[in-house]
Amino acid sequence: MNDTAIAVPQSRVGQHFFIFAALIMALQLVVGLLAAAQFIWPTLLFSILPFNIVRMLHVNTLVVSLLAGFMGGTYFLVAEEGGGLLHSERAARWNFWLFAGGIGAVVLGYLAIVVTGEWSLWLSEGREYIEAPRWADWAIVAVALFFLFNIWRSVSKRAGWNDITRMLVIGLGALAFFYLFGMKFFANVALDQYFWWWVIHLWVEGAWELIAAALYALLLIRLFDFPRERAAKYVYLEAGLVLFTGILGIGHHYYWIGTPSYWLTVGGVFSALEPLPLLLMVLDALRIDRARRGIEHPNRLARAWIIGGVILHFAGAGLWGFAQTLPAANRWSHGTQLTAAHGHIAFYGAYSMLIIALIYYALPRLRFGGDEYDQRRGWWAFWLMTSGMALMTVALTVAGIVQVYLERMLGIPFAEVQSYLGIYYDARLVGGVLMTLGIALFLTDVFALRAVRKRAGQ
Amino acid sequence: MIFLVWLSVLLLFVFLMVYIIWSLRAEERLALPRLRATFFGGVLAFTAIFVAFTWHTLRVMPRTTHGDQLTPAVRDGKLAWQKYVCIDCHTILGNGAYYASDLTRAWPRFVDRAGGDEAAARTAMKTWLQHPPGPSATSRGMPQFAMSGREAESLVEFLRWTSKIDTNGWPPKPLREQTATAGTTPASPGATLFASNGCTACHSIGQGRIQGPDLAGVGRRYDRDTIIAFIVDPQAVYDRKGKSPVNEGYPTMPSLAISPPDAALIADYLIGGQS
């Protein structure tokens, strides 16, 4: 058994981040549910929480839950790699409270808009996904640097630099670096979007993929007893394919925003190949899963979140992304519910499921010092959330196709077209309810994971 | 310069193809040091080309976006755009929240509805921003931001400037035009008031629904006094009828503070225009 080789870490700070990530994820679902409901009942809570505030909270909680998950996962796994300890547990704890405090301050700012009814650039910058105001930007950068410093020291002093830890730190460094491009004000909205995509695209199809590849590799080593050297090879292969297609693949955001027309060619060619690494990942994961079936790691649930994540990553980012990445298709689909469908399933598959897998891997070790726990609630959460997301994606996809046909092709005005899409928004809300039930079960596990008594003879 | 960049893109593409074929080989035959070197070398090369493209794009964009027409008012409008978090309902250049309409071409839409009169379109848009229609049970609405006249004017400038960005032909022209093009503006005082108070932002006469219902034949459905009362204070009419909005499937009509004499002229125009 492999899990005996990796000692349960004494470092506890990962747990702080995991609980925070899970809470933020739950908040994301709650405000998401409200947003979905406002599509159907436009007056619902409208005077208190207008849609733009709800939506701002929804996308910001998405980003924050993933950042908290990445940080927690990194602290936890780096500690495990380093024989159980971080270089400074105290610094890591400070890191957590500064991070949580900063996020809390930003959210309080958003709520101040709600309470006072006064809109201000000091409270929200009004730029999608990175609405946090300028003062918060600097605070976020400071916390990110502090985090990088801590990880750097822990890897140098304890875990050691190798191909996987190096890729992890490169990804985290790139995450912090590209955030800087979201901090400048542009009066020119086209330039604004040009650099805004440096944050968004180079995060989700760049830096975050590197982090995810490294975290996946570390989990494969643990849960599938995968040899380290082979895992390192996979990291380079995947990361290489992702970046070689993804860096110039950013061109698929530069088709229609006032940029020169050569981006249609560059973006089309390279982004069309972006699904390839994701497909390889699915094939590899399934192969590894089959080959390693004999190795019975007790944490089957964490394995399921990994395999499921890889599959939905490919479906959401690969298939749904490819469906609208070529300029000829994107010309029609750009700015419709099709993009929303793609965004939802891609984020869930690529990142949320990975974070949940990390949490389900780490929690039993933190709580019970091993890999044995009662997985029943977790399986319900897995199927509820995944089927909810599937339903939501299909509903939004159909809504998007209808919207493209009526609005873009026939030229019927936006508001009228939206009035015909009610049934799809109803179905999306049902998907959201399923997901919320799932996250409630998951959250229950995070706070009260049930132990399972070891059977005799084991 | 740009030719060299294209050449490099071609080379990178060939490199990518070779890399893909290579990566499909059995994993045992891939040496880790070579994989590592290829990764770092490749990232460097792709980054370099991306930076070169960015350099060129930034040189071209002042032209494709009419950077010389970016006045301080446009800048103020951009700040207001961010301050009211418009992008978390609307989209602009196709990016945003998909809950409300795309505003890339909002300006030409308003100009069309004002019969080509830019001054009337400006007023209509400003009126809209200061008195947006609220939501109803069946139709989405916009929050009352209580923005100042200056802010609304600068937002109009911002949207007007944005509409002139060269977007490589996006959004595409619909295959079939649903809404007929606006007719000529009749010179009656009621028609002028109808455009200058921003009514055309939501209503057409005989060209289908926009945000509000088509007002063709409204004179046959309501008497003159009701129409006048409604224009002056829609909320009072909603209260009296116990129905808000009057027509299901539409947002509520905002109060535009139109004086009763002006409202009478508009009503005459609406009733008279139904020949």
Taking only the tens place, the pLDDT of each residue in A76-86 is 999 999 999 99
- Interchain pair B165, A269: CB under 8 A: no
What is the per-residue pLDDT across A291-317, written as a single tens digit (0 to 9) for each?
877 777 899 999 999 999 999 999 999
Q: Is residue A335 over pLDDT 50?
A: yes
Q: Closest Cα of chain A to B68: distance in Å? A: 11
Confidence of residue B186 (pLDDT cuts 50, 70, 90): low
**Chain A: residue nearest B202 by CA?**
A415
CA distance B81 to chain A (A): 8
Distance from CA of A249 to the nearest CA of B (A): 10
Partners of residue A269 in chain B, C-beta under 8 Å: 13
What's the pLDDT score for residue B197?
83
pLDDT tens digit sequence for A384-428: 999 999 999 999 999 999 999 999 999 988 988 999 999 999 999
Distance from CA of A36 to the nearest CA of B (A): 10
Domain-by-domain residue ranges, chain A? 1-160, 326-449
Task: Tell me what ipTM this predicted complex has.
Answer: 0.95
Q: What is the pTM of this model?
A: 0.92
Distance CA A3, CA A315 (A): 31
pLDDT above 90 (res A435) = yes
Average pLDDT over residues A430-457: 90
* Phi–psi pair at B95, nearest 5 degrees: -110, 135
Helix (H) or strand (E) holding B83: helix B72-83
Which residue of chain A is at minimal alpha-carbon distance from B10? A266
Selected residue with higher pLDDT from A369 and A68: A68
How far is residue A88's CA from residue B97's CA, in Å, rounded to a whole number?
A: 42
DSSP state of A375: -
Q: Look at A128 and B87 and tell me if their CB atoms are within 8 Å.
A: yes
Which pLDDT tens digit goes with each residue over A92-121? 999 999 999 999 999 999 999 999 989 999
Contact assignment for A53 to B60 by CB distance below 8 Å = no
pLDDT band at A456 (very low <50, low <70, confident <90, very high): low
pLDDT band for position B40 (cuts 50, 70, 90): very high
Query: How high does pLDDT run on average in chain B?
Result: 89
Tell me which of B85, B164, B248 to substitute to probe the interface with A (most A C-beta atoms closer than 10 Å): B85
The domain segmentation of chain B, as residue ranges, is: 2-63, 71-171+181-272
Q: Which of A54, A189, A330 to mutate to test the interface with B (most CBs of B within 10 A)?
A: A189
Size of interface A-B (CB pairs under 8 A): 259
Across the interface, whether the CB atoms of A336 and B98 are under 8 A apart is answered yes
Distance from the Cα of B22 to chain A's closest Cα (Å) equals 10
**Chain A residues near residue B67 by CB distance under 8 angstroms:** 188
Dist CA A427 CA A72 (whole Å)? 34
**Three state DSSP letters for chain A:** CCCCCCCCCCCCHHHHHHHHHHHHHHHHHHHHHHHHHHHHCCCCCCCCCCHHHHHHHHHHHHHHHHHHHHHHHHHHHHHHHCCCCCCCHHHHHHHHHHHHHHHHHHHHHHHHHHHHCCCCCCCCCCCCCCCCCHHHHHHHHHHHHHHHHHHHHHHHHHHCCCHHHHHHHHHHHHHHHHHHHHCCCCCCHHHHHHHHHHHHHHHHHHHHHHHHHHHHHHHHHHHCCCCHHHHHHHHHHHHHHHHHHHHHHHHHHCCCCCCCCHHHHHHHHHHHCCHHHHHHHHHHHHHHHHHCCCCCCCCHHHHHHHHHHHHHHHHHHHHHHHCCCCHHHHHHHCCCHHHHHHHHHHHHHHHHHHHHHHHHHHHHHHHHCCCCCCCHHHHHHHHHHHHHHHHHHHHHHHHHHHHHHHHHHCCCCHHHHHHCCHHHHHHHHHHHHHHHHHHHHHHHHHHCCCCCCCCCCC
Q: Is B21 exposed, middle or buried (0-12, 13-18, 19+ CB in 10 A)?
A: exposed
Model confidence at A4: pLDDT above 50: no
Report the pLDDT value the prediction gives residue A268, as an integer from 0 to 100.
96
Instruction: Supply angle C-alpha A207, A308, A432, rounded to 5.
Output: 90
Statement: residue B2 has pLDDT above 90: no
Closest approach of A379 to chain B, Cα-based (Å): 32
Spatial separation of the C-alpha atoms in residues A393 and A344, rounded to whole Å: 7
Token readout for B230 is: 């409604």
Give B150→chain A minimum CA distance, Å. 15
The CA distances from residue A443 to A23, A25, A355, B157, in Å, are 7, 9, 13, 48
Q: Give the rounded distance of the alpha carbon of A151 from its chain centre.
A: 21
How far are the Cα atoms of A150, B107, B131 from residue A373, in angstroms, in the given order? Answer: 31, 60, 58
Residue to mutate among B24, B36, B95, B103, with most A CBs inside 10 A, is B95
Cα B113 from Cα A278, distance rounded (Å): 48
Residue B182 pLDDT grade (very low, low, confident, very high; cuts 50, 70, 90): very low
pLDDT at B129 over 80: yes
The predicted pLDDT at position A7 comes to 84
Predicted pLDDT at B59: 95
Chain B residue with Cα closest to A254: B167
Mean pLDDT of chain A: 94
Share of chain A above pLDDT 90, in %: 91
With bands split at pLDDT 50, 70 and 90, how would you rate the model's confidence at A60? Answer: very high
Two tokens, residue A239: 């990361």
pLDDT at B256 over 90: no
Residue A262 has pLDDT above 70, yes or no: yes
Task: Identify all chain A residues contacting B134, using CB atoms and an 8 Å cutoff.
Answer: 46
Which chain A residues are within 8 Å of B211, Cβ to Cβ?
415
Nearest to B9 among A232, A243, A266 (CB): A266
| Percent of chain A whose predicted confidence (pLDDT) is above 70 | 98
Lookup: tokens for B250? 């539409």
- Rounded CA-CA distance B34/B29 in Å is 11
Q: State percent of chain B over pLDDT 70.
A: 95
pLDDT at residue A253 greater than cutoff 90: yes
Which CATH code for domain B71-171+181-272? 1.10.760.10
Q: Do A239 and B23 touch (CB under 8 A)?
A: no
pLDDT(A2) > 60? no
B78:A192 CB<8 A: yes
What average pLDDT does this structure show over B190-208? Answer: 83
Query: What local confidence, expressed as pLDDT, does residue A432 receive?
Result: 98
Residue B124, pLDDT > 60, answer yes
- Taking CA atoms, what residue in A is nearest to B24? A280
Check A43 against B137: CB less than 8 A apart.
yes
Nearest-Cα distance to chain A for B177, in Å, is 6
Sort out which chain B residues have CB atoms less than 8 A from A409's CB and list them: 174-176
Distance of alpha carbon A39 from alpha carbon A31, whole angstroms: 13
pLDDT of B5 over the 70 cut: yes
For residue B65, the chain A residues in CB contact (below 8 A) are: 188, 190-191, 258
Cα-based distances in Å from A294 to A288, A290, A370, A457:
11, 8, 20, 19
Which chain B residues contact residue A243 at CB under 8 A?
Answer: 39, 42-43, 46
Predicted confidence at residue A294, as pLDDT, reads 75
pLDDT of residue B273: 63
What are the chain A neighbours of B158 within 8 Å (beta carbons)?
189
Which of A218, A227, A372, A217 minimizes the C-alpha distance to A292? Answer: A227
Look up residue B253 and give its DSSP letter: P
